[in-house]
Chain A
Amino acid sequence: MFIDQLINGIVLGSIYALMAIGYTMVWNVLRFINFAHGEVYMGGAFVSLYLLLLDTPIWLAYLGGVCAGALLGYLMEKMVYMRMRNAPKLNLLIAAIGISIVLQNLAQYIWGATPERLTSPFLSKNIAVGDMLINQHYIFIIILTILVMIVLELFINRTLMGKAVQAASQNIKATQLMGINANKIISITFAIGSAVGALAGILVGPVFLVYPTMGVFAGLKGFTASVMGGMGNIPGAMIAGLLLGVIESFAAGFISSGYRDAVAMVILLFILLVRPQGIFGKIVQQKV
């Protein structure tokens, strides 16, 4: 029971960590919470599902979903957020919520509201560890998450583009003055964050099914994880995501499953009260 919950928690946590990356990256460059990020997660899963229905090979279908997610994020930024650069943050927030309503209902219009299961090459197989069986798909999720995190770390720290993203996170105006195309950097940030978010949705598809509102709570929790890790802190978001998944899994298993979604929200409130800079964040003085 204990080990089961722990593994479930780590799997859930991987998903939250992947989601948190999208929130954190966008926060870094634009200082705004992209409330439509949960819909990228849903969109990626649906596109994979659709490609599988067309008899696409499974890896291609997964890849197609990730690309669709990246495209969705890119389009959001180009069509809406970019045109609102000078608007107050509150307007951006409402626009993001509007986009999320549109995407949810678009998915429902195209694909219907019945939950469907994505196929996975591993779901039917188990691995025996000692005297217990672990689903191979769970292992797949964990390994892929770790891989994505390593690639992302390398991208951010080792490539020129990654350094430009870092620079944009620190001070977007100065970045522009240095001759970096800030709009391009922001678009790339959206595309990468959304691709990772879509991947999370695709990975969850075989376990928790795919339906138009699947992104709502996944989004809220990914977002909670990004706050826990310290808004804008990518490694922090990853660790916090795992932590949140494990806590939630234990709370749901041992306390009450009806309130499992409330656990994340209580943690969010608690973190905001006690350590608004996040577990791993530094205190930033409010600029006057």
Chain B
Amino acid sequence: MELIKRSAFRKSVLLLGGIALFLLPLGIVNPYFMYIINLILIYAILALGLDLIVGYTGQVSVGHGAFFGIGAYVAAILAKNLGFSLWLTLPFSIIITAVIGLIIGFIGLKLIEEYLVMATLAFGTIIWLVFLNWTDLTGGPMGIAGISAPPTITLGTLQFPFIQYHDYYPLLLIFVYLGILITRLIIKSGFGRACTAIRDDELAAQAMGIPVFKTKVIMFTISAAFCGAAGALYAHFLHVVSPETFAFGMSVTILTMVMIGGQGSITGAIIGAAILTVSSEALRETPELRMLIYGFLIVIMIMFFPKGIMGLFQISKQRLLKKSIQVEKNVVEKEGLSYEQ
């Protein structure tokens, strides 16, 4: 009973907080801050997607930047050449990245851990080189500029045009919520539990009758689709895509977000996205030292917080638990003494 009350309380707090977040732009005047917050939201979708395969299924990919890029380029090309709006390019981006994810997953997931890392690395690099060299379609090193903003949304007499960064925020926030919702639905389902079983012990999972390979491939496909969606949003948000955004560094950034936030945690993925985006933007003050400090941050965080920020909370929870057990013991011992007296 107590537990139900507590979870109901938690749910209502989360719901209210979630709604309150929509009001955030009212308090922020500086468009640059709004831009950073929007970027965090896009990265959060990416990190959630990668966490599905890395954190929940235990398969490491260093090629998800390529899926992000494919999503962005598909949206850019469709918007530019065929005049599609976000509502049309988004499904296309998702479907195409999912199909490519399915193929790559089918090829790569037969491999054991380290070799999967190599295969995804090779895939990511090839895709990046295609962006760079297929000039007719992708614009080569210049990329594609002038991607349309999403069409104005009309609700009755209210109109929501997309002009400033402030206008994009609610839309991106809705997509992040959708991402969180889908992630939660997946990981609480039987399929999601099969994935965590594979992560914890692949052989045992197989012995329990889980179709290991199929489960991994499906999760990889979903994870790629998340990145595709983020890509389409990114293209329509920044109005420009260029190949260097989607180089190996992007895949690493997304993976680092997941690792630093804490694998296998929705909150962790979002915290990781926020930390990396903010620190990378904050370091713009010192452009010549920016990447240097950023690299140092990554090394130090991974050395000293191997389980990420969420791992810290787990540790403190365990400590609390131990402490409370110790307190109980002490009480029992003391009372025992008093009985003797």
Indicate if B212 sits at the interface (CB-CB under 8 A): no
A205, B117: Cα distance in complex, Å: 30
Given A91-B259, A99-B295, A269-B122, 10 other A-B contacts at CB below 8 A?
Answer: A31-B114, A97-B252, A98-B299, A99-B299, A105-B290, A223-B118, A259-B129, A265-B122, A269-B119, A272-B118
Within 8 Å CB of A261, what residues of B?
125, 129
Q: Show 28 residue pairs from A and B whose CB-CB distance is below 8 angstroms, ordered by the A residue.
A: A33-B117, A90-B54, A90-B259, A93-B62, A94-B259, A95-B299, A95-B302, A95-B303, A97-B252, A97-B256, A97-B298, A101-B292, A105-B295, A106-B292, A109-B288, A224-B122, A231-B114, A259-B133, A262-B125, A265-B123, A265-B125, A265-B126, A268-B122, A269-B119, A272-B108, A273-B107, A276-B112, A286-B112
Q: Distance in Å from the Cβ of B89 to the closest Cβ of chain A?
A: 27
Within 8 Å CB of B302, what residues of A?
84, 87, 91, 94-95, 98
Closest chain A residue to B116 by CB distance? A272
Give chain A's interface residues, CB within 8 Å of chain B.
31-33, 80, 83-84, 87-91, 93-95, 97-106, 109, 216, 220, 223-224, 227, 231, 256, 258-259, 261-262, 265-266, 268-269, 272-273, 276, 286, 288
Which of A32, A80, A98, A99 neighbours the largest number of chain B CB atoms within 10 Å of its CB? A98
Q: Distance in Å from the Cβ of B101 to the closest Cβ of chain A?
A: 15
Indicate if B313 sits at the interface (CB-CB under 8 A): no
| 1/0 contact string of B220-231 vs chain A (CB within 8 Å) | 000000000000
Residues A90 and B60 in contact in the complex (CB < 8 Å), given A83-B303, A101-B295, A272-B115: yes
Q: Distance in Å from the Cβ of B184 to the closest Cβ of chain A?
A: 24
Indicate if B111 sits at the interface (CB-CB under 8 A): yes
Residues A98 and B298 in contact in the complex (CB < 8 Å), given A88-B306, A286-B112: yes
A280, B121: Cα distance in complex, Å: 22
Within 8 Å CB of A101, what residues of B?
291-292, 294-295, 298
A258, B256: Cα distance in complex, Å: 30
Interchain CB contact under 8 A, A227 and B107: no
Q: Distance in Å from the Cβ of A225 to the closest Cβ of chain B?
A: 12
Within 8 Å CB of A105, what residues of B?
289-292, 295
Indicate if B41 sits at the interface (CB-CB under 8 A): no
A107, B108: Cα distance in complex, Å: 35
Indicate if B87 sits at the interface (CB-CB under 8 A): no
Contact residues, B281-325 vs A (CB, 8 A): 288-292, 294-299, 302-303, 306
Within 8 Å CB of A265, what residues of B?
122-123, 125-126, 129
A109, B255: Cα distance in complex, Å: 26
Q: Distance in Å from the Cβ of A22 to the closest Cβ of chain B?
A: 16
Within 8 Å CB of A88, what residues of B?
306
